[in-house]
Structure 1
Amino acid sequence: MSKKPISFGKIKFSLPTTTSTAEQNEEANTSGFGTFGRTPIQEQTKDIDEIAEDLESQHVQEVMGIKNFGKKAKNFDIEEMMMRARQAAQEAAKKKAVEDEEKAKEIIENSSAKDDDDDDEDLIGPPLPPGLVEEDEDIIGPPVPEALKKADDKTKGEDSYDELSGSDDEDDAGPEKKIPNSHEVQMLHGSKAVVALAVDPSGARLATGSIDYDVSFWDFAGMDASMRSFRTLQPCENHPIKCLQYSATGDAILVVSGAAQAKVLDRDGFESLECVKGDQYITDMAKTKGHTASLNSGCWHPHIREEFMTCAQDATLRLWLTDNPRHHKAVIKPRQQGGLKTNPTACTFSRDGNTVACGCFDGSIQMWDHRKSFVNTSQVIRSAHQKQTEITSVVYSYLGNNLASRSNDDTLKLWDLRATKQPLNVFDNLFSRYEQTDCGFSPDDAMVFTGESLQKGQDVGRLLFYNTKTFKKVTQIEVSKSHVIKAVWHAKLNQIFVGCGNGVVKCYYDQKKSLRGAKLCIVKTHRKKQSSDVVSSQQIITPHALPLFRQEKLRTNKKKMEKDRLDPIKSRRPDLPITSGQGGRVAASGSTLSSFVIRNLGLSKRVDDDQDPREAILKFAKDAEENPFWVAPAYKKTQPKPIFQGDDDDGPSDAKKQKT
C-alpha cells in the first residue's frame, strides 16, 4: 500500500515508499509545475481517438455498407505552407535578379559597341547604370517586399513612406508649383474697377460686377479667343455692384448693390426676385421686413439652395428665402463691446453651413450658430482688426479649422478657430483702398492669398500667396498696372480669376493642371460674319421658259431702282391732277354739272363737255316759240300779249347811266 502524498496546490510531496516503476513515472510526470511541449498523455489520447474513429468507420461499414458520411476535412499546416512559399519566392527572386543582370549586361555591351561604332547613333531607351546591377545582386525577394523589409528595419533609419510612394516633383519644388500661373488670359469688363467676381460651381460661367453699375456674363463654352462677354446689363440701375455670388446649384446669382434691396437673377441674367425694402422710420430693425440702408455684402448658404444672407449699413444681417422675398427669415444684430450697434461690412457661411460669421466696423469678428437662435454669439473675436476700419473679407478654410480675415488696416490675419485669443500670424504692409478687397484659401488649404492696391510710387498691382504652415511668402503674381481687388481660386477648374481696378479681369491657368474654363476659349478663332446689303433670291434658269415667266437679270442696283421708279405701283405714284377734264378722275363722270346730271339721268348717251350750255338751251328756242307745249298754252287766255322793245325805238334814257 502506498501512502497518499501531501499536496498544497500544485506542490506535492511524496513519502518514500516502495512503488512500482510505472507509478514512479506517473508521479514524476504529474508532480511539479508541469512540462513544456506535448505530454505523453496527449499523444496517447490522439492515438486512442484515431483507433476509435477507425472502429466507428468499420462498424458503419458493417451495418450500412458505407464507410462514412462525406469526406473528412483536411488539416493544413500554415507554418509549413509559409515556409514553402518563402522558399519559392526567394528562388523566383534570385532567378529574376540573374535574368535582369544578364539583360543589363547585354544592353550595356550593345550600347558601348554602338557608341564605339557610331557616336551619332541614338540609343532606344536609357541604359541602366552599373550601380543598379550591383544593388540587384543583393536583393532577396521581390522589390516591394524588400522595400517593406527596409521599412521594418530600424537600424537603417530610412523613411519608408518616401521609398514606397515616392515624392512628387511638386512637393520637392515647393507649394509655388501648385499655383496655376503658367498662362494668362485677359478679359475687358469696362473702364471702372471690377469689385465683384463670381464663378459658378461647375466652372462654366463667370460674372463680373463693377462700380459702373454693369454686370457682365461670360460663357467659356461659347466664347472665342476674343474673350467677349455674351451679355451686359444694369440690374440695379444707378447703384454700384458690390458683391456677386452663384448659388450652390449654379442656377441663380445673388446681386448685392449700393441699394437697400438685393436681387436674385437667373442663369441668363433675368431678374427672378427682389427683396423688400424696410421702413426707415422704424427704430427697431427687427420689426421691419427688410434692410433700410445701403447693402455691404451677401452670400448663399452652401447647402440650402434657397437661402441667402445680406448685411447692410443699418447694422443688421438678414437671412432670406427665395420662396418669400417679401419678408426676411431671421435678423441678426451685431453689437460692440459696450452694447451699441455696429455695421457689418463682410459676411459669410462656414463650409458646413452651421456657422454665420461677419466682420464689423468696430474691428470685431462675430459668429453665430445657424442651428440656434441668433440672440447670443457662439464666438467673438473683439480686437481682430483696427477699430473704425472695414473688414473687407472673412473666409473659412476648406477643412473649417482656420479663418482668414482681410481689412483696410493693411493686414491679413490667419486665425485658428480652436484658439482665437491670438491670430496664428499677421501679414502686414498690404495696402487696400477698396471695401471689397478679399482673400481666400487654396483648394488644399496650404496657402492663403490676397490682392494689394497701388500706393504712391508703385507701378504694378500684385497678388500675394503665403504659406499657412510656415507663414512665409510663397510667391507673388504681378497682375496689372492697377489695383488688385478680387481674386477667386476655383477648385474644380484649378484656375485663378482676378479683378483689377482698371476694369480688366485676368484668368491664370496651367496648361497641364487646369481643366476647361479659359482653356476652351483660347483655341477658338473669331470668325467675322459676312453681311450682304442685298439678299438676292435664288434663280432657277430653264432653257425653254416662256417670256412671261422669265426673270430679268439686273446686274446693278441702280438699274433696278430706275425700273421700280417707273412702275406706279412699286413707286406708289399719287393720282395725277385734272388738266382738261378728259382722262381725269372727275372727267370720267362729267367735268360740269350739266354733263353729270345728263349722264346720270340717262338722257344722253354721249355728252360733249366742250359745248356751251347756253347755246345748247337756245338751240330749242325757235321750236318752243312756234309750237309751245308747257308754258305758253297755260297763260294764253289770261296774259296780255308781250311787247318787246326794239333796237330802233327811242326811249327814255337810263337814269343811272352817266350823261356824256
Structure 2
Amino acid sequence: MDFSADDDEAFRQHMPAQFGKIDGSVNVEAQIERARRKVVDENKQAKKEKDSDDDDSDDDSEDDDDEFPVSHELIIKTHDRAITTIALDNSGTRLITGSNDCTLKLHDLSALTPSTIRAFKTVDPFVTKASQSAESHSIHQVLFGPHSGGQFLCITATPQARLFNRDGEQISEFVKGDMYLRDKHNTKGHTSEITTAAWHPTNRDRFVTAGTDSTVRIWDVNKRMKQEEVVVHKSRAAGSAGMTRMTAIVWGAAADGGSGMIVSAALDGSLVMWGGNGPFHRPAAEIRDAHVKDTWTSGLDISADGRLVITRGGDDTIKLWDTRKFKTPLNTTSHQSTSSQYPTSNIQFAPNSQSIITGSETGHLHILNPATLRPELVTPVTPGSPLISVNWHPKLNQIFTGSANGQTTILFNPSMSTAGALTILSKAPKKRYLDDDPSLTVDMDPLGMAGEANTSGPNPGSFVSRHPTVGLTASGRSRDPRRPHIPAITPFAKSTPDQKYVMEQIEGSDMRDEDPREALLKYQPKAGEKNVFTGAWDKTQPKGVYKDYDSEEDERERKKAKK
C-alpha cells in the first residue's frame, strides 16, 4: 500500500519524536528576559533635549539603568479597584495588598508560577468566624510587624485597628472609644476613623495609631481593651476647638539611639514630633506651617539613621527636614499631589537611605536624591493611572508599586535582586489541561456534592476545607457564571430563626402544615367504638325531627305558599 506525503506527516505528528525520559527543565534566562521592560527615564530625556551636544549622554544612561532595580517587571492583577497599600514580611515571601474594594489579597511569592500569579486568599476584615458583618470600608494601611512576619496590622476607615496572623486569621480587634466623652484622654480608644499607623522600630508588641479625633495613641498588642498612652494634639490653627485630623504618622529610630521618635502630620499643616518614651503631654518639637493648612499630607517617612524626615503634602510639594533642627525644611521641590483622591499616597526612603521613592498622578515612579530632592529616575509604570503606593523591600531589593487601576507591579533587576519575582520566573509554567477551561468541559461544583466547605464538621481536614479557593478565579470569583453569588449574612438575618430551627426547637410547630379537617376526622369513632370525647351527651341530646318530603318539587311548592 502506498502512503502519500500527507499520511507521512500525520504519522510523524502522531508518534513521539523521542523515547525515554524527556528533560522538562525551564529556560530561566528566557523567562526573565521576557520580563524585561523598556526603561524610559523621562528626566534624562529632558536633559538630552537641553544638552544635545553631549556625546557621552547615551553611555551614562546605560550605566545608570543598572543603578536601580527597575530593568524588569512582573505584574500581579488581583484587585478590581485602586490599590491603597502594599506590605511584605521581612523574608519577602508573603505579599499583602489592600484596595478600595474593601478586601485584602494574600500572595505567597514562593509558591507562584509564571502562569498562576494569583492570591491564595481573600480576606474581608469585617467578616470573622465569631461574627459576620455587612459593613464595607476602604483599606487605609497594612503593616507587618518588625523582625517578625507572623502578624500584620490592618487599618481601615473605622475607629478600630485589627491584628491578623500571616494567614489572614484575625487575632484581635482593638477597642473603640466613647464618642460622647469630651475629654479624649478618658476614652479607651479612638472615637472616630483611624487614618494611619506605625510599628515600633524594634519592639514587636507596640504600635501607634493616629486618627481624625485629633489623637495619637500607643498600643500594646496584648492589651486590646485600652491603649497605653493617649496624645491629644491641640491645634493652634483650628480655632477654639483645637481639634484637627491626623493624616500620617511614623515611628522611626532616633539619631542618638534610644526608643526612637514619633512624627505625625496634621490637616492644619503642622508637623509634630514626640520622643518614643515620652513625655507625651507636650511635643518635643513642632512646626506649625510645615505644609499649607487644610491640605492632606499623605506621605511621611524617617531615614534609617533617624536624621532626616521626608514629607509629601497635599500642597504639591515634597519637603526634607532635619530632626536635629526641626524648624525649617532643608530642601523643597514641587510634586503633583494625589492625596485629595487617594489619601494613602506614600513616600519612602530606600533601604540604604540613598534614595527616595514615590509615585505620581501620571503613573510614573520617581526616584529622588535625598540631598537635593532632584529626580534621579522617572520611569512610567502604569501610564495614565496614578501610582499610589510604593514599597522598596530591603532583603529582596525589589520595588513594589500599587496603582489606581488595581495593578501591582514588581520592579527588579536580576543582577541586583534576590528571590521574590526571580523565584516566580525560575519555575516552569503550570501545564494547562483541558479541564482548566470551563467552556470546554462539563462544569462541576468545585466544593463537591456537599456544597460549601465544612471546616468544623467531622472531617475538617478534607480537601475542600484545605483548599477553600479551588474553582475560583484570581480575583476570588467563581469560574462558573451560572453559580449565584452567596450574599453576606447580616446581623439581623443571623439572629432571625430559620424554618429548621423552628421545626426542631418549638414544640407543635410541625402542625401548621396539617389539614385541620383531617386532624379532627381522625378522632371520629368507628363503628362499635366508644365515643371518648362527646360520649357523655349521647343519652341527653334531643333527637331532631324533620319532615320528609316526597320530592324536591313538593318542597318548592311549600316555600312558594309561604311567600
Normalised by the length of structure 1, the TM-score is 0.52
Higher relative contact order (Cα pairs below 8 Å, separated by 6+ residues): 2
Q: CA deviation at 1:190?
A: 1.5
Q: Matches of residues 398-437 of structure 1 in structure 2 within 5 Å?
A: 398-432=304-338, 433-437=341-345
Pick closer, same or farther for the CA change 1:172–1:521 going to 2, 3 Å. Answer: closer
Amino acid at match of 1:244: V
Q: CA deviation at 1:529?
A: 6.2
Aligned to 2:392: 489
Q: CA deviation at 1:400?
A: 1.5
Q: Is residue 290 of structure 2 the alignment partner of residue 290 of structure 1?
A: no
Amino acid at match of 2:219: W
Q: Deviations over 1:475-523 (max 9, x none)?
A: 1120113010000111111000000000000000001100101111123
Q: Secondary structure at the match of 2:388?
A: strand
CA contact (8 A) 2:83 2:403 kept: yes
Structure 1 unaligned residues grouped into runs of 5+: 1-169, 455-460, 535-655
Structure 2 unaligned residues grouped into runs of 5+: 1-58, 127-134, 436-440, 445-549, 551-563
Q: Is residue 95 of structure 2 the alignment partner of residue 231 of structure 1?
A: no
* CA distance in 2: counterparts of 1:177 and 1:469, whole angstroms: 21
Amino acid at match of 2:305: L
Q: CA deviation at 1:172?
A: 11
CA contact (8 A) 2:273 2:286 kept: yes
CA contact (8 A) 1:176 1:474 kept: no
Aligned to 2:512: none
* CA distance in 2: counterparts of 1:344 and 1:484, whole angstroms: 23
Q: CA deviation at 1:173?
A: 7.8
Equivalent position to 1:499, from 402, 413, 423: 402
* CA distance in 2: counterparts of 1:330 and 1:529, whole angstroms: 58
Q: Is residue 168 of structure 2 the alignment partner of residue 269 of structure 1?
A: yes
Q: Secondary structure at the match of 1:310?
A: strand
Q: Is residue 271 of structure 2 the alignment partner of residue 368 of structure 1?
A: no
Amino acid at match of 2:189: G
* CA distance in 2: counterparts of 1:252 and 1:188, whole angstroms: 24
Q: CA deviation at 1:370?
A: 1.5
Aligned to 2:28: none
Aligned to 1:350: 252
Pick closer, same or farther for the CA change 1:173–1:502 going to 2, 3 Å. Answer: closer
Pick closer, same or farther for the CA change 1:490–1:195 going to 2, 3 Å. Answer: same
Q: Secondary structure at the match of 2:76?
A: strand
CA contact (8 A) 1:194 1:499 kept: yes
Q: Secondary structure at the match of 2:425?
A: coil
Q: Matches of residues 90-109 of structure 1 in structure 2 within 5 Å?
A: none
* CA distance in 2: counterparts of 1:429 and 1:220, whole angstroms: 33
More helix by share: 1
Q: Is residue 422 of structure 2 the alignment partner of residue 519 of structure 1?
A: yes
Amino acid at match of 2:112: M
* CA distance in 2: counterparts of 1:521 and 1:304, whole angstroms: 32
Equivalent position to 1:393, from 299, 309, 320: 299
Provide the aligned length of Structure 1 versus Structure 2. 360
Q: CA deviation at 1:174?
A: 7.2
Aligned to 1:446: 354
Equivalent position to 1:311, from 200, 210, 229: 210
Aligned to 1:214: 103
Q: CA deviation at 1:230?
A: 0.7
Amino acid at match of 2:260: N
Q: Secondary structure at the match of 2:184?
A: coil
Q: Secondary structure at the match of 2:298?
A: strand
* CA distance in 2: counterparts of 1:219 and 1:473, whole angstroms: 33
Aligned to 2:265: 359
Amino acid at match of 2:140: K
Q: Secondary structure at the match of 2:328?
A: coil
Q: CA deviation at 1:308?
A: 1.4
Q: CA deviation at 1:206?
A: 0.8
Larger radius of gyration: 1
Q: Is residue 368 of structure 2 the alignment partner of residue 466 of structure 1?
A: yes
Q: Deviations over 1:548-587 (max 9, x none)?
A: xxxxxxxxxxxxxxxxxxxxxxxxxxxxxxxxxxxxxxxx
Pick closer, same or farther for the CA change 1:327–1:471 going to 2, 3 Å. Answer: closer
Pick closer, same or farther for the CA change 1:343–1:174 going to 2, 3 Å. Answer: farther
Normalised by the length of structure 2, the TM-score is 0.61
Pick closer, same or farther for the CA change 1:282–1:175 going to 2, 3 Å. Answer: farther
* CA distance in 2: counterparts of 1:363 and 1:351, whole angstroms: 24
CA contact (8 A) 1:408 1:435 kept: no
Amino acid at match of 1:211: N
* CA distance in 1: counterparts of 2:64 and 2:321, whole angstroms: 21
Q: Deviations over 1:398-437 (max 9, x none)?
A: 1211110011111111112222332121120323132111
Q: Secondary structure at the match of 1:216?
A: strand
Amino acid at match of 1:194: I
CA contact (8 A) 1:223 1:229 kept: no
* CA distance in 1: counterparts of 2:283 and 2:62, whole angstroms: 43
Q: Secondary structure at the match of 2:66?
A: helix
Q: CA deviation at 1:321?
A: 1.0
Q: CA deviation at 1:293?
A: 0.7
Q: Secondary structure at the match of 2:185?
A: coil
Q: CA deviation at 1:393?
A: 1.8
CA contact (8 A) 1:189 1:208 kept: no
Q: CA deviation at 1:378?
A: 0.8
Amino acid at match of 1:400: G
Q: CA deviation at 1:530?
A: 7.1
Equivalent position to 1:246, from 129, 137, 144: 144
Q: Secondary structure at the match of 2:422?
A: helix
Amino acid at match of 1:512: S
* CA distance in 1: counterparts of 2:373 and 2:199, whole angstroms: 30
Q: CA deviation at 1:395?
A: 0.2
Q: Which moved more, 1:347-356 or 1:390-399?
A: 347-356
Amino acid at match of 1:291: H
CA contact (8 A) 2:66 2:413 kept: no
CA contact (8 A) 1:412 1:430 kept: no
Amino acid at match of 1:450: T
Q: CA deviation at 1:372?
A: 2.2
Equivalent position to 2:90, from 198, 201, 217: 201
* CA distance in 1: counterparts of 2:342 and 2:317, whole angstroms: 13
Q: CA deviation at 1:203?
A: 0.8
Q: CA deviation at 1:379?
A: 1.4
Pick closer, same or farther for the CA change 1:429–1:356 going to 2, 3 Å. Answer: closer
* CA distance in 1: counterparts of 2:322 and 2:63, whole angstroms: 24
CA contact (8 A) 1:334 1:343 kept: no
* CA distance in 2: counterparts of 1:210 and 1:367, whole angstroms: 30
